[in-house]
Amino acid sequence: MREVDRIAVEEFGLGILQMMENAGRNLADNLLTMLDGAKAEITILAGSGGNGGGGLCCARHLHNRGFKVWVVIDREQAELTTAARNQLQILRAAGVPPMDASHARDFLRRSQVVVDALIGYGLRGTPQGRTAELIDLCNDRGRRILSLDVPSGLNATTGDAPGPVVRPDRTLTLALPKTGLHSLPGDLYLGDIGIPPEVFHRLGLSFEPPFKKSHWVRLVSTPEGNHPGLDGAAD
């Protein structure tokens, strides 16, 4: 998936912010279908990179639609990537500042839905420190969870979880299915972030984006919880 991103940016000219905006908007829209018309208070758990930036963008779109949103970032704001800082700047200007992570339990207690945008496919090793604490809090109390791209703590290639891992009700993975999601619990959706099919062809992947009528589609699972729609998945 890293090579897909690299070619999309360096050879096709897609912008990181452009793809991040697509991811965040699709995540917000997918969450709205999860709510099925109900109002809810929502906590966004965001990391420092592209996944976190998508979560921050999602928070803005939910705020624009009138939802009460709390944002908790798993590290100091100076550690965010440039693109994620850009999303945070927009969010602040819209009147949604990040909350103190030390009070995350309080915000989560008041929320009916949690968006997990902490790590994504960039997991290296085991989640540590504040990130691990937020994962544990996220799983507590049985609230509904929507993960972006890959549940935080899950290895996107192998499906292994060497440490704490988010247990989502639903996951919106991005651009291309990941091999580690074959046995993912909960519902699995695939979201379009605007990558042309020619990027996949350049890498010899047979995957054809299925986005004909929508910017995201559900991948059908078997009764055992496996997702057979992952043929041609990326690692």
Where in the chain are the domains? 2-230
pLDDT score, position 182:
85
Assigned token pair, 16: 């990181």
pLDDT score, position 224:
46
Looking at every residue in the chain, the average pLDDT score rounds to 90
In whole angstroms, what is the distance from residue 91 CA to residue 85 CA?
10
pLDDT score, position 141:
75
pLDDT score, position 111:
96
pLDDT score, position 235:
43
Q: Which residue has the tokens 């309080």?
A: 106
The predicted model scores a pTM of 0.92
Q: Which residue has the higher pLDDT, 223 or 171?
A: 171
**CATH top-level class of 2-230:** alpha beta
Query: In 74-121, which ranges are E strands?
Result: 113-117
Please report how many Cα atoms fall inside a 13 Å half-sphere around the Cα of residue 75, on the Cβ side. Answer: 18
Amino acid letter for position 45: L
Query: Which residues are 41's β-sheet partners?
Result: 68
